[in-house]
């Protein structure tokens, strides 16, 4: 299209193009299954069924500009703190969390699984002398969840740090990464004229730390030692944000019974009924989970057996612990959930270009 650029106070950018010549490059079919220029709404399933048309909307594109800015902020923050970006396998013989939530795939003449997380490989790298690593990559969970905050394919932001004394060392890095990322994203979005620039929260480390036992008391069930359900998290979020005035907060020191399947979690030596683990929540929604790992071979092997896993199936992982493993810890952080809460989206599926859930494999 050719034309003349003129000043226009009504235009969003202050100028408009008065066309003098137009050339049709491709003819669109009619009628469109989804409006892209008007403000007529459509159900999410309809939008996702015709995702390419949906992505043409400026408001939808703005979400993925936000996602791009967040990724830029994450990488800048990690690299400025001496982290090395790594890529671990997504086809595995075994998983970190157990077989019930894994997708099996044919792998030549044997079975393999899609990775739930890079957990075991991150730990192995600690033994190799890679003292600070991060990875931003897809992960897969075969959980039959039909909620607005779960996906079967998602992006995980994982970090691991060697030579720590406790999970507090990990939390301090994670909260700074979160704060850095939001600040960088805001600057980038302001340059782009993206509407989310002025909507992003300000993250103020240190975030509050609330022991799990205190959470149980706030929920009116002291000593229950049950994992937090969605409604529990929401109730806690309302109370804790009101108390501390910070939308970000850590839940710390989980009972071993709650994290029993997490065999690599470090049990406190003086309080073996608790693990040095935490969740990072934002207004009642879990964004990250992590903590100190068990770096000693004998306790780790005992934990593996207690979780109902045969240590022989994890021989490649355990070898790293036989030849010197420093104390270490890390986290897994949900990128899609982060985008969802920062953009205040009603459904996590809107945070991915082509989401995958229990029923959706196309487009």
Maximum CA pair distance of the chain? 79
CA 148/CA 350 separation, integer angstroms: 10
C-alpha distances (whole Å) from 13 to each of 5, 197, 235 are: 12, 16, 43
For the whole model, what pTM was predicted? 0.91
**Whole-number pLDDT of residue 48:** 96
**Catalytic pick from 16, 286, 356, 360?**
286
Which of 67, 150, 171, 266 is catalytic? The answer is 150
Report pLDDT for 100. 67
- DSSP for 75-108, please give it: HHHHHHTT-EE----SEESS-SS-GGG--EEEET
57-351 homologous superfamily? Bira Bifunctional Protein; Domain 2 (3.30.930.10)
Q: Which residue among 143, 168, 214, 225 is the active-site one?
A: 143
Q: Which residues of 73-107 are buried (b: 16+ CB within 10 A; e: fewer)?
A: bbbebbeeeebeebebeeebebbbeeeebbeeeee
Q: How far apart are CA 298 and CA 317, in angstroms?
A: 14
Per-residue model confidence (pLDDT) at position 38: 65
Q: Mean pLDDT in runs of 10 for the chain (363 residues)?
A: 87 85 88 76 91 94 98 98 98 72 90 93 97 97 88 97 98 98 98 96 96 94 86 95 96 90 92 95 96 97 91 94 97 98 97 95 94
Residue 51's CB: how many other CB atoms inside 10 A?
17
Residue 141 designated active-site: yes
Q: Catalytic: 233?
A: no
Quick one: pLDDT at residue 99?
59
Dihedral (CA of 265, 167, 78, 251) sign: positive
Measure the CA dihedral 8/9/15/21, to 10°.
-30
Structure tokens at 142: 């075969």
């Amino acid at each position: 299209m050719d034309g003349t650029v003129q000043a226009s106070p009504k235009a969003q950018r202050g100028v408009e193009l008065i066309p003098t010549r137009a050339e049709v490059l491709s003819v669109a079919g009619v009628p469109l299954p989804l409006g892209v220029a008007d403000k007529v709404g459509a159900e999410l399933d309809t939008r996702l069924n015709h995702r390419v048309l949906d992505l043409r909307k400026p408001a939808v594109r703005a979400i993925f500009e936000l996602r791009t800015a967040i990724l830029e902020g994450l990488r800048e923050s990690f690299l400025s703190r001496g982290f090395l970006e790594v890529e671990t396998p997504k086809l595995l013989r075994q998983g970190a969390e157990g077989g019930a939530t894994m997708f099996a795939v044919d792998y030549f003449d044997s079975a393999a699984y899609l990775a739930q997380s890079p957990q075991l490989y991150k730990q192995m790298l600690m033994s190799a002398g890679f003292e600070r690593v991060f990875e931003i990559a897809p992960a897969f969970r075969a959980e039959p969840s039909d909620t607005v905050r779960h996906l079967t394919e998602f992006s995980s932001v994982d970090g691991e740090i060697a030579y720590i004394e406790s999970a507090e060392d990990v939390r301090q890095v994670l909260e700074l990464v979160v704060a850095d990322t939001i600040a960088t994203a805001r600057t980038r979005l302001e340059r782009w004229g993206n509407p989310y620039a002025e909507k992003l929260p300000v993250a103020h480390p240190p975030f509050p730390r609330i022991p799990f036992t205190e959470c149980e008391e706030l929920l009116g069930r002291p000593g229950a030692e049950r994992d937090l359900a969605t409604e529990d998290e929401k109730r806690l979020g309302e109370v804790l944000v009101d108390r501390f005035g910070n939308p970000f907060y850590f839940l710390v020191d989980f009972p071993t019974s709650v994290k029993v399947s997490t065999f690599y979690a470090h049990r406190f030596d003086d309080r073996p009924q608790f693990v040095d683990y935490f969740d990072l929540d934002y207004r009642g929604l879990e964004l990250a989970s992590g903590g100190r790992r068990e770096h000693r071979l004998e306790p780790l092997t005992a934990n593996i057996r207690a979780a109902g896993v045969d240590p022989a199936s994890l021989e490649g992982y355990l070898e790293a612990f036989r030849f010197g493993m420093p104390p270490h810890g890390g986290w897994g952080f949900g990128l899609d959930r982060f985008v969802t809460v920062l953009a205040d989206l009603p459904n996590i599926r809107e945070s991915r270009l082509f989401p995958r859930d229990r029923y959706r494999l196309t487009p």
